Amino acid sequence: MKSFTETNLKKEILNAIKDIGFTKPTVIQSKTIPYLINSKEDIIATAQTGTGKTGAFGLPSIHLTNIEVKKPQTLILCPTRELCIQISNDLDTFSKYISGIKIVPVYGGSSIEKQIRSLKQGAHVIVGTPGRTVDMIKRKKLSLQYIDRVVLDEADEMLSMGFKDDLDLILSKTPNHKQILLFSATMGKKILSITKKYMNDPINIASSETNSSTKQVDHYYYMVQAKFRYEVLKRIADMNPNIYGIIFCRTRRETKEVSNKLMQDGYNADSLHGDLTQSQRDEVMDRFRKKRIQLLVATDVASRGIDVDSLSHIINYNFPDESEVYIHRSGRTGRAGKRGISILIINTREMNKIKAIEKNFKISFKHEKIPSGNDICTKQLFALIDKIEKVEVDEAQIEQFLPKIYKKLDWLSREELIKHFVSAEFNKFLSYYKNSKDLNLLSNRNDRKKEKVKPNRNKKLFSNIYINIGSKNKLNPSNLIGIINEVLKSDSVIIGKIQILKSFSFFEIDKKKEKIIIDLLNGKKIKGVSLIVQVAKEDPKNKPNTNNHRKTKKSFKKNKRKLNFKRK
């Protein structure tokens, strides 16, 4: 099937997909649509992200809908709220020229009363998450007795998220004569259990394209000892100043740890994981879509439904448990005609997994050397110069300030002015990577043993500062950096490691700014607390002297009334 006109889809649907630029069906669409239009047989379709699955089941579902029967005829189940909304929006687009058709999404984290009202007004197609769909059934607000077809989208993820019981209940409420369409990226034992229990001699359809964006993706791996995995992640980010991507972790705990470390180290990052409320998830995703977040750290489950076409990088912090998962992840970049980069951070024992992916999915990995401190500083310097070259100058706006600027800087030569400017913007990288270690694994084990570990930054440049507020005062690394920048009236000061504890915190700052920051912050009221700020005493092992901290905390409690302390 070379064009959608060969599908026999309704004219209104063809006009709608023409409007959005669909001309040639993807492989999964060309294989699936004719079956769904002309047959009632059950279908198992194996297809990855980016292969056009929504069109494969959505277009024929709309085509087969009887508008006169104001009852749910198609039920589409998917694992997450984001994917539910995405599918619903796509179906609205496909059916925009069909008068009277109604598509209703039902999902958690949003007003159930509003969704109930939508169902009462009549719905032809229901797109739902398992949990909210079960809730609607139990409240007797959703009847499935007229359902002709059930679509299980991302069936593997729904099962891995623990929705098996919900799926069993939902399917038991549907007619025996229904058609079941199961779409999944992988085919595990749990998937096969559903096929045996609910499907009748299903037809197996596999998209021969593992991912429509594979040809647009460059695949790289970095080999490193596990203990340096996070350092490699930072170097990848620093080597790509305009990076915009997702970092995949195995567990929600690891996701939170990596995200918190990145934010503490000053990166524009945040995370998606199962412990977030729906409103928190929405806020993070809104910022990510608007590119206010450069790096999103997520688990596979939490990332379902993220539909962003302009991702530059996908980074696998660990090797995924299954090869198919890697392909699924990498398909999130290299879209909309743009090239993308997919990266694996691995150890030497995982080379066989690389080879298996190359063999099974006909892709090729390139072994990249971990960037050195000099590589990164060079890259960042030229990125800064490019940025300055391309900045738009509004002479009308700055004209009035130029005489004072010229007068202030007239003692500097052209060369000296450039040096000052570059240093002001660039000292952070120069300081951090001054004595950076080569993280590339050496081929000879004896060489690795002989190799001396150099410190990754010069601690003599930093002072470790104690401050008497912590997490119970709603302090986080971003707040603390903002407080420091505010009192210094500058965002160019070099800030090192940040440690937020319950009742107090520590931060490293350029030694030259030690006295200034202590003078400016001491006595200042933040979060209802009058600040106590001082240089943290350290023991010979460079660890904070906990006895001193306890004394400071005890003294602080003793005088908290005097300091007009308020808990917020």
What is residue 134's predicted lDDT score, i.e. its pLDDT? 96
Half-sphere exposure of 22 (CA within 13 A, CB side): 22
Q: Higher-confidence residue: 379 or 156?
A: 379
The model's confidence at residue 167, banded by pLDDT at 50, 70 and 90, is very high
User: pLDDT > 70: what percent of the chain?
Assistant: 86
Least confident of 236-240, 332-336, 368-372: 332-336
The H or E element containing residue 257 is: helix 252-264
Most confident of 134-138, 286-290, 455-459: 134-138
pLDDT category at 429 given cuts 50, 70, 90 is confident
The residue that leads in pLDDT, 336 or 17, is: 17
Q: What is the pLDDT of residue 205?
A: 87
Predicted local confidence at residue 563, as pLDDT:
39
Residue 555 CA, distance from chain mean position: 43
Q: Which two tokens stand for residue 301?
A: 């489950």
Which backbone phi and psi does 8 adopt, to 5 degrees? 65, 20
User: In this predicted structure, what is the pLDDT of residue 275?
Assistant: 79
| Secondary structure (H, E, C), 288-305 | HHCCCCCEEEECHHHHCC
Contact criterion met (CB below 8 Å) for 65 and 124: yes
Q: Report the alpha-carbon distance of residue 43 to residue 26 in Å, rounded.
A: 17
Q: Report residue 37: phi and psi, to 5°.
A: -75, -35
Between helices 81-94 and 53-63, what is the axis angle to 10°?
50
Query: Once rounded to an integer, what is the mean pLDDT over residues 491-518?
Result: 86
How far apart (Å, rounded) are the C-alpha atoms in residues 163 and 224? 37
- pLDDT at res. 47: 74
pLDDT of res. 188: 65
Q: What is the pLDDT of residue 433?
A: 83
pLDDT band, very low/low/confident/very high, at 304 (cuts 50, 70, 90): low
Q: What percent of the chain has pLDDT over 90?
A: 37
425-437: average pLDDT: 78
Mean pLDDT of the chain: 83
Has residue 450 got a pLDDT over 70?
Answer: no
Per-residue model confidence as pLDDT tens digits over 181-196: 998 876 666 677 778 8
pLDDT tens for each residue of 71-109: 999 999 998 888 899 899 999 999 999 999 999 999 988
Amino acid identity at 369: K
Residue 213 has pLDDT above 50, yes or no: no
Alpha helical stretches, state H, 187-228: 189-198
Chain centre to alpha carbon of residue 126: 28
Structure confidence at residue 239 (pLDDT): 94
| Residue 65, helix vs strand vs coil | coil
| Residue 87 neighbours by CB under 8 Å, 6+ apart | 54, 58, 76, 78, 105, 127, 153
Q: How many CB atoms lie within 10 A of CB 423?
A: 11
Q: Of 31-45, 137-151, 346-360, 527-541, which gets the smallest average pLDDT? A: 527-541
Q: Give residue 81's identity as a one-letter amino acid code.
A: R
With a cut of 60, say whether residue 451 has pLDDT above it. Answer: no
DSSP 218: E
Most confident of 50-54, 225-229, 477-481, 546-550: 225-229
Residue type, 370: I
User: Is residue 276 predicted with pLDDT exceeding 70?
Assistant: yes
Domain ranges of the chain: 4-206, 214-372, 374-435, 459-558
- pTM for this entry: 0.56
Average pLDDT over residues 325-338: 81
Mean pLDDT of 107-132: 93
pLDDT tens for 123-137 read 999 999 999 999 999
Cα–Cα dist 157/300, whole Å: 9
Which residue shows structure tokens 């999964």? 28
pLDDT value, residue 326: 86
What mean pLDDT comes out for the span 440-467? Answer: 57
Q: Tell me: pLDDT of 179 over 90.
A: yes
The answer, yes or no, to whether residue 220 has pLDDT greater than 90, is yes
What is residue 564's predicted lDDT score, i.e. its pLDDT?
A: 44
- How high is the pLDDT of residue 214? 59
Whether 516 shows a pLDDT value over 80: the answer reads yes
The fold for domain 459-558 equals Alpha-Beta Plaits (3.30.70)
Whether the domain at 4-206 and the domain at 459-558 fall into the same CATH topology: no
Predicted pLDDT of residue 302: 65
Mean pLDDT of 410-429: 80
Structure-model confidence comparison of residues 48 and 3, the more confident one: 3
Topology (CATH level 3) of domain 4-206: Rossmann fold (3.40.50)
> Is pLDDT above 80 for 475?
yes
Cα(351)–Cα(425) distance, integer angstroms: 40
Instruction: Assess whether pLDDT exceeds 90 at residue 140.
Output: yes
User: What pLDDT was estimated at residue 62?
Assistant: 96
Domain 214-372 is found in CATH 3.20.20.150: no
Among residues 100, 138, 104, which one has the least CA distance to residue 123? 104
